[in-house]
Amino acid sequence: MAAPAACTRFSDNYEIKEELGKGAFSVVKRCVQKSTQFEFAAKIINTKKLTARDFQKLEREARICRKLHHPNIVRLHDSIQEENYHYLVFDLVTGGELFEDIVAREFYSEADASHCIQQILESVNHCHQNGVVHRDLKPENLLLASKAKGAAVKLADFGLAIEVQGDHQAWFGFAGTPGYLSPEVLKKEPYGKSVDIWACGVILYILLVGYPPFWDEDQHRLYSQIKAGAYDYPSPEWDTVTPEAKNLINQMLTVNPNKRITAAEALKHPWICQRERVASVVHRQETVDCLKKFNARRKLKGAILTTMLATRNFSSRSMITKKGEGSQVKESTDSSSTTLEDDDVKEDKKGIVDRSTTVISKEPEEIRIVCPAKTSQQISSNSQCTARRQEIIKITEQLIEAINSG
């Protein structure tokens, strides 16, 4: 006799608790596994709102996460498909963002930055060994396992991750977050694992001084800086950083991807593997102060866009466009902090794929929301309106908090 089929409904295995976060098509909630009482984070995706392409991406994310098992990566424990919802059950990480934790510390040194980037590189190296390119390394995706001192750094959000064969490079589409995009992606050239190392270089630069190596309010100038690898080490903040730290940054922010250091090589760099001897242990108060402002700007800009979307009843088919431009993108904000993926490329009359139409709006005030006309079935009920008002209030509180913190 065949063994009885295991129960597959999410509610049979897990008890849903409070909400932890929210996205355009999904909500993340704490949940408790009934059989063990272990706590997890459940990403609940409303599949009714997804296109066929979105389904493919969801399957890709789950497939990639299933094969990654590393102490510095948020682990996928379960994947359950139901009629209208898909549930991804991950590690419950409670320590918040790495960058937020750093500014709350009483002491932070170059050696601490070395330990942080080592853990990030360990996670990236594991990805690359398993043929995975993350494509969206940024502060928002670097979390801490818990609030305990010395908690492990965890790499999260594999929504843009892709699978590659060996060191194969190809054009996989325009994807990532503007301030962390590599030159080869911006030039629309074939790329591979090295795009993650470039992003690590940007992150390491920020970890050491609290501001990014590439920055401009103008999108085109920002991209020109990145493509040229035009960054420097201004005085006085960089005067106290060791030459070995700068050397590692230089090898990560090498414009030619074929000459860029790999994750495995970076882990063997003296500033990483011999940090006790090489890295400075002097407290970097200026870095902490700058990082507080950097964090506040990130939060403020993200909250502004989210508020705009919430107040305009942003739907799954809404598009965000820049005034005066005919091209469209799926998600867009300022020039540095929001993830973008240009997968839905258009074809011209000859059937040629046009990959040059991605536009990232320069500032939130230049964004307009274009929503399709609602049918009577789409008009929100009173309960939905109430929920939306509560969401707007919550986001407004985040805005106020971000403003108050600098």
pLDDT on residue 298: 81
Q: How confident is the model at residue 364 (pLDDT cuts 50, 70, 90)?
A: very low
Q: Are residues 188 and 280 in the same domain?
A: yes
Q: Are residues 142 and 206 in the same domain?
A: yes
Q: Are residues 70 and 38 in the same domain?
A: yes
On whether the CB atoms of residues 329 and 358 are closer than 8 A, the answer is yes
Q: Which domain holds residue 79?
A: 10-91
pLDDT on residue 109: 94
Q: Are residues 123 and 224 in the same domain?
A: yes
pLDDT on residue 22: 84
Q: What is the mean pLDDT of residues 197-223?
A: 94
- Residue 34, in any domain of the structure: yes
- Residue 30, in any domain of the structure: yes
pLDDT digits (tens, 9 = 90+) for 233-289: 999 999 999 999 999 999 999 999 999 999 999 999 999 999 999 999 999 999 999
Q: What is the mean pLDDT of residues 81-90?
A: 93
Using the 3D structure, point to which of 91, 107, 134 is the last residue of a domain: 91
Q: Are residues 86 and 101 in the same domain?
A: no
CATH code (residue 112): 1.10.510.10
Structural domain count, the chain:
2
pLDDT on residue 300: 78
pLDDT on residue 358: 27
**Residue 329: pLDDT above 50?**
no
Tell me how crowded residue 282 is: count the other CB atoms within 10 A of its CB.
Answer: 11
Q: What is the mean pLDDT of residues 366-385?
A: 45
- Residue 111, in any domain of the structure: yes
CA distance 225 to 109: 28
Using the 3D structure, point to which of 275, 297, 319 is the last residue of a domain: 297
Q: Are residues 81 and 120 in the same domain?
A: no
Using the 3D structure, point to which of 276, 297, 318 is the last residue of a domain: 297
Q: Are residues 47 and 195 in the same domain?
A: no
Q: What is the residue-averaged pLDDT of the chain?
A: 81
- Which of 56-70, 96-110, 344-358, 383-397 bottoms out in mean pLDDT, i.e. has the lowest? 344-358
**Residue 333: pLDDT above 50?**
no
Q: Do the annotations mark residue 193 as ligand-binding?
A: no
Q: Is 223 helix (H, G, I), strand (E, B) or coil?
A: helix
Q: Which amino acid is at 154?
A: K
Q: Are residues 75 and 218 in the same domain?
A: no
- Residue 349, in any domain of the structure: no
- Residue 4, in any domain of the structure: no
pLDDT on residue 405: 54
- Residue 190, in any domain of the structure: yes
CATH code (residue 28): 3.30.200.20
Q: Which of 189, 175, 218, 158 is nearest to 343 (CA)?
A: 175
pLDDT digits (tens, 9 = 90+) for 148-167: 999 999 999 999 999 999 88
pLDDT digits (tens, 9 = 90+) for 113-142: 999 999 999 999 999 999 999 999 999 999
Q: Are residues 62 and 134 in the same domain?
A: no
On whether the CB atoms of residues 316 and 48 are closer than 8 A, the answer is no
Question: What's the predicted TM-score (pTM) here?
Answer: 0.77
Residues designated as active site = 136
pLDDT on residue 370: 35
pLDDT on residue 266: 98
Q: Which of 224, 212, 144 is nearest to 186 (CA)?
A: 224
Which helix (H) or strand (E) segment holds residue 120: the answer is helix 110-129
Q: Are residues 66 and 100 in the same domain?
A: no
Q: Are residues 111 and 192 in the same domain?
A: yes
Q: Are residues 254 and 188 in the same domain?
A: yes
**Residue 402: pLDDT above 70?**
no
Q: How confident is the model at residue 23 (pLDDT cuts 50, 70, 90)?
A: confident
CA distance 147 to 155: 16
- Residue 2, in any domain of the structure: no
**Residue 378: pLDDT above 60?**
no
